[in-house]
Structures are given as C-alpha cells and as structure tokens.
A and B are shown apart, each in its own frame.
Chain A
C-alpha cells in the first residue's frame, strides 16, 4: 500500500496509521512533506513502520535537503512506476 504525502499535517500521519493498519506500507513524499526526509524528522514516519520511504528528488533539491539514509530519492519516472505498477493500492493524502 503506497501513501503519497504532500505536507507536514500531523493528521495525515494518523491517517496512514489507521488506513494502513498491519499492511505493508510505503510512503512517497513530495512538496513540503520532504522535510520528513531529514534526519531530524524521519523518526515521525519511522514510528509508522513503513517498509520504504521515498522522496521526490525535485522537491528535495528545491529545498536543499539531504535525505536521511533510510530515504530513497526518486525521479518522476520511478514515481510513475510505483503508482502504476508496484502497488495494488495507492492513497494520496
């Protein structure tokens, strides 16, 4: 199950927890949500126990963010693949 996140709204983290339940969860960050990818903030997502965390490399570059080692920076080609092919359920929050 892939969750797409575009902001730091804390309610969205709750939604991931509630909607994702015990299922395998991946999280894709873009927009201001990529601030979660910093080492200082990644813990807020890690506690949701996602399998993988991805971040838009364009959004990271626009904010001059170096992502934490647990985050994979991805381009649009890879994001399209994740959304169309890799996950049977995709939820944009």
Chain B
C-alpha cells in the first residue's frame, strides 16, 4: 500500500544541500509509487516562483553562470508536480520576502499553514522537516 510523505522545505537552493536533497528524495519517493507533498516554508518559498531573467548586460561570467545554474531547481520542481506531487508555498513567508505576487511554477500553488499545510497533514504517513 502506498504511503504519502510530506516534506517541509525551509531552505533556498543556494544556501546548502537541503533543497536539492528534498527535490531528489521527492522524485525517488514518487518513482516508488508513493505520494509526496512539499510545503515551501521560510526561504524555501523562493523555489515556488518562476525565474525572472535579467534583460540587461550581466557581468556574470559563463563559468560562474554554469556553476550557479546547477542550483536552479525550477525544471525539477515542475517535473515533480507533473508526476503528481502536491507543492504549495507559505504565502506569509512569501510576503515577508516580497514575492507573494510572483508567478508560480507550473503546478505550484499558493498556500498557508492554517489550511494547505493542515490538509497535507491529514493525508500524511511520514512528515519530515528539511532545513536547519
């Protein structure tokens, strides 16, 4: 019988390994046929928004750009929702970072602790907080 794992991600993707760990673990869980909810909380909420490319002349070198692009997880997150993961942000933590109005990645939803997160908990077999 399949289980559902809820992951609370509290870190952004460039701070440490937590975000990439969360995304890769979620994919492995989905590949097993189990369910995944991800609640993007704190700095983790930055992962729910669509990237906004800079149109001007950027001084970032190609080598640095290539290095930093490895930390951009937008495609992987949209891949998770395409496979059935439920992913929502905490809108309050988005508000405090000035990104509440930004467009979401495909499949990512606006959320809150009182309703969204509690709905996740009702269907959760394993709850893990990924952060520090």
Contact = CB atoms under 8 A, between A and B. Distances in A.
Contact of A58 (B24, B31, B129): B24
A73 B106 CA distance: 34
Contacts of B34: 80, 84
Interface residues of B, number: 20
Interface string B34-58: 1000000000000000000000000
B121 interface: no
A76 B36 CA distance: 14
**Which 3 pairs across A and B sit closest by C-beta, in order of nearness?**
A80-B28, A31-B17, A76-B28
Contacts of B5: 83-84
**Interface size class of chain A, counting residues whose CB lies under 8 Å from the partner chain:** 20 to 34
B94 interface: no
B32 A84 contact: yes
Tell me what chain B mostly uses at the interface: helix, strand, loop, or mixed.
Answer: mixed
B18 A31 contact: yes
B129 A83 contact: no
Interface of B: 3, 5, 16-18, 21, 24-25, 27-29, 31-32, 34, 125-126, 128-130, 132
A32 B29 contact: no
Nearest to A59: B17
A77 to B, nearest CB: 5
A92 B18 CA distance: 12
Contacts of B32: 77, 80-81, 84
Contact of A32 (B17, B129, B130): B17
How would you classify the secondary structure of chain A's contact residues: helix, strand, loop or mixed? helix
Contact of B128 (A32, A75, A90): A90
Contacts of A27: none
A6 B17 contact: yes
Contacts of A32: 16-17
Given A32-B17, A62-B17, 18 more contacts: A6-B17, A6-B21, A30-B21, A31-B16, A31-B17, A31-B18, A59-B17, A59-B21, A76-B25, A76-B27, A76-B28, A79-B28, A80-B28, A80-B32, A80-B34, A83-B5, A90-B126, A90-B128
